[in-house]
């Protein structure tokens, strides 16, 4: 995930262990520019920050994503880590606060914790257990999952001047989605009801800044026995409390051999919508997660006629987007977290949006 807090851009990401948890079996994660210079080398080199556990990280850029500081671990135990994941953050523009949530496994359920920063990520609060606020989404019960992959957002201040931030999961006990939202800077949360089983991972975006219309896009999973040809859309006209759908989005999933798609990212940039996801068809061990393509919509997500193909690498995977300095930042992760010795990268590419018109 990418967030923009005043003058800085942050990558919010989990680094998950795989295989044996030992010094010789480090998990390595790096951020590098997707573009290369004439020598074929990545202009910003490669910075590897090893960990032998599952941790939640943040990485900061103060120049719109051109250069990055070191990774910082925000979960307890530092690089020694634990079983942390579901790392999500939102910048609350009203309260000038970064809200950062993560999950910890406890058997077949997860506990969601929150920390916050009021000084642009320099210092962080102590973790708070949010279980008592998330009971409506199934927290504390077997099978509950915290924040799943995809974008979480603050709603437009025109319609929600107190600053409504929306976190949530696509995997409650029946893979229904459910959101928890706050309008007091993350001090307290209310929940929606659980919606639409078999949803899985999802991203949320403001589809129309003028009306506050919200859009969720999820994997093309079945719903009540119905097969979907493309990824599913859901819509909300009341700030994410109620939803209608699912509908065909016209956006195809790059499915693997098991029929699984991939998380995709969404972004509203000057009331144009952008979608970013692998299209598949590449080589390697994970051909479905290759060949990243960004698409844009000029009609609030009804159609997606324009596209930008990433050509500097065929590697692909989970993604995020952000507007910074009037440019579109594309970020995507590659590699397998369960490989014996993964060398996983986060690619970053900064592009203009002239192709979307």
Q: What is the DSSP string of 70-87?
A: --EE-STTGGG-BBEEEE
- Mean predicted confidence (pLDDT) in 3-23: 74
Nearest C-alpha neighbor of 13 from the set 31, 1, 30, 27 = 1
Question: Which of 12-16, 86-90, 347-351 is predicted least confidently?
Answer: 12-16
| pLDDT for residue 161 | 96
**Token pair of 82, please?**
């634990």
pLDDT tens digit sequence for 190-234: 999 999 998 888 999 999 999 999 999 999 888 888 889 999 999
Surface-to-core class of residue 305, CB atoms within 10 Å of its CB (0-12 exposed, 13-18 middle, 19+ buried): exposed
Contact between 45 and 30 under an 8 Å Cβ cutoff? The reply is no
Alpha carbons 355 and 357: distance in angstroms, whole number: 6
What are all long-range contacts of 70-76, with beta carbons under 8 Å and residues at least 24 apart? 71/29, 74/100, 74/102, 74/115, 74/124, 75/102, 76/127
| pLDDT for residue 344 | 65
Positive or negative torsion for Cα 207, 294, 14, 169: positive
Residue 245, pLDDT > 70, answer yes
Surface-to-core class of residue 256, CB atoms within 10 Å of its CB (0-12 exposed, 13-18 middle, 19+ buried): middle
Alpha carbons 161 and 151: distance in angstroms, whole number: 21
Q: How confident is the model at residue 287 (pLDDT cuts 50, 70, 90)?
A: confident
Q: Residue for token digits 């480090």?
A: 26
| pLDDT for residue 271 | 95
| pLDDT for residue 62 | 94
Nearest C-alpha neighbor of 291 from the set 272, 269, 319 = 319
Contact between 125 and 52 under an 8 Å Cβ cutoff? The reply is no
Q: Specify the higher pLDDT residue, 71 or 194.
A: 194
Cβ burial 83-101 (10 Å sphere, 16+ → b, else e): ebbbbbbbbbebbebbbbb
Whole-number Cα distances in Å, 43 to 2, 29, 35, 327, 351: 21, 17, 8, 19, 16
Alpha carbons 328 and 116: distance in angstroms, whole number: 26
pLDDT tens digit sequence for 103-156: 998 777 889 999 999 999 999 999 999 999 999 999 988 888 899 988 999 999
Q: How confident is the model at residue 40 (pLDDT cuts 50, 70, 90)?
A: very low
Would you call 309 helix, strand, or coil by DSSP? strand
| pLDDT for residue 189 | 98
| pLDDT for residue 47 | 45
Residue 251, pLDDT > 70, answer yes
Interior angle at CA 137, CA 133 and CA 140, nearest 5:
70
Contact between 124 and 79 under an 8 Å Cβ cutoff? The reply is no
- Mean predicted confidence (pLDDT) in 286-312: 93
């Amino acid at each position: 995930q990418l967030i923009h807090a005043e003058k800085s851009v942050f990558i919010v990401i989990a680094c998950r262990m795989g295989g044996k948890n030992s010094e010789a079996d480090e998990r390595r994660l790096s951020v590098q520019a997707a573009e290369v210079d004439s020598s074929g080398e990545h202009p910003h080199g490669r910075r590897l920050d090893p960990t032998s556990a599952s941790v939640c990280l943040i990485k900061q850029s103060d120049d719109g994503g051109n250069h990055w500081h070191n990774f910082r671990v925000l979960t307890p135990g530092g690089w020694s880590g634990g079983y942390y994941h579901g790392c999500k953050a939102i910048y609350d523009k009203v309260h000038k606060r970064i809200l950062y949530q993560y999950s910890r496994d406890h058997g077949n359920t997860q506990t969601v914790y929150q920390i916050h920063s009021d000084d642009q990520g320099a210092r962080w609060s102590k973790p708070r257990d949010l279980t008592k606020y998330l009971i409506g989404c199934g927290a504390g019960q077997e099978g509950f999952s915290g924040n799943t992959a995809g974008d979480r957002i603050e709603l437009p201040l025109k319609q929600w001047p107190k600053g409504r931030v929306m976190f949530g999961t696509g995997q409650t006990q029946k893979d229904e989605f459910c959101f928890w939202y706050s309008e007091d800077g993350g001090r307290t949360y209310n929940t929606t009801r659980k919606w639409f089983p078999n949803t899985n991972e999802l991203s949320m975006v403001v589809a129309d800044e003028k009306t506050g219309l919200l859009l969720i896009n999820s994997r093309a999973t079945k719903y009540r026995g119905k097969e979907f040809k493309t990824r599913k859309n859901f819509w909300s006209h009341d700030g994410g409390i109620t939803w209608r759908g699912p509908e065909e989005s016209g956006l195809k999933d790059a499915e693997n051999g098991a029929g699984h798609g991939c998380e995709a990212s969404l972004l509203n940039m000057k009331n144009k919508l952008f979608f970013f996801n692998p299209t598949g068809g590449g080589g390697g061990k994970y051909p479905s997660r290759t060949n990243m393509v960004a698409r844009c919509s000029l009609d609030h997500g009804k159609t997606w006629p324009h596209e930008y193909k990433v050509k500097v690498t065929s590697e692909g995977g989970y993604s995020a987007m952000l507007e910074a300095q009037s440019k579109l930042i594309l970020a995507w992760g590659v590699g397998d977290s369960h490989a014996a010795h993964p060398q996983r990268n986060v690619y970053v590419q900064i592009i203009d949006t002239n192709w979307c018109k």
